[in-house]
């Protein structure tokens, strides 16, 4: 996997797209920080790739929340706790897409207190 800045992507887009189409993957950076991934996908596999990516992200969020719960002696997360976290993140994401203000993206504590 290689890195490409937003500026390089703009200035050398033809070269980058050729490399992506040949199977290379890129991390796109803005101001030195990763902001996107570029990878080749066949038209028929886009939905499967997106589903796999979302599942991996969800797994990472659940793992992080479970670790935080253990550190705070909150106890194991219930399915309701996990669903509440998913719903909250979706609501925040929808607000940011519609131009609304975004709340903090820090994970909530799963003890029902609503603390972050």
10-residue averages of pLDDT along the chain (116 residues): 94 95 95 93 92 92 86 77 89 74 48 49
In-domain check, residue 110 = no
Predicted pLDDT at 100: 53
My answer on whether 58 and 77 are in the same domain is yes
Q: In the numeric block, which tokens belong to residue 45?
A: 């596999």
Report the alpha-carbon distance of residue 100 to residue 42 in Å, rounded. Answer: 34
Residue 88 domain boundaries? 45-97
In-domain check, residue 73 = yes
How many domains, in total, are found in the chain?
2
DSSP 34-45: EEEEE----GGG
CATH of the domain at 27: 3.40.1620.10
In-domain check, residue 23 = yes
In-domain check, residue 89 = yes
């Amino acid at each position: 996997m290689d890195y490409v800045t937003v500026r390089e992507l703009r200035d050398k887009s033809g070269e980058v797209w050729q490399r992506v189409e040949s199977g290379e993957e890129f991390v796109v950076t803005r101001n030195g920080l990763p902001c996107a991934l570029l990878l080749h996908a066949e038209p028929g596999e886009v939905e499967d790739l997106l589903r796999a990516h979302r599942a991996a992200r969800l797994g990472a969020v659940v793992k992080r929340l479970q670790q935080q719960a253990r550190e705070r002696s909150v106890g194991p997360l219930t399915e309701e706790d996990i669903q509440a976290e998913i719903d909250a993140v979706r609501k925040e994401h929808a607000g940011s897409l519609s131009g609304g203000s975004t709340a903090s993206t820090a994970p909530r504590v799963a003890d029902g207190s609503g603390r972050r």
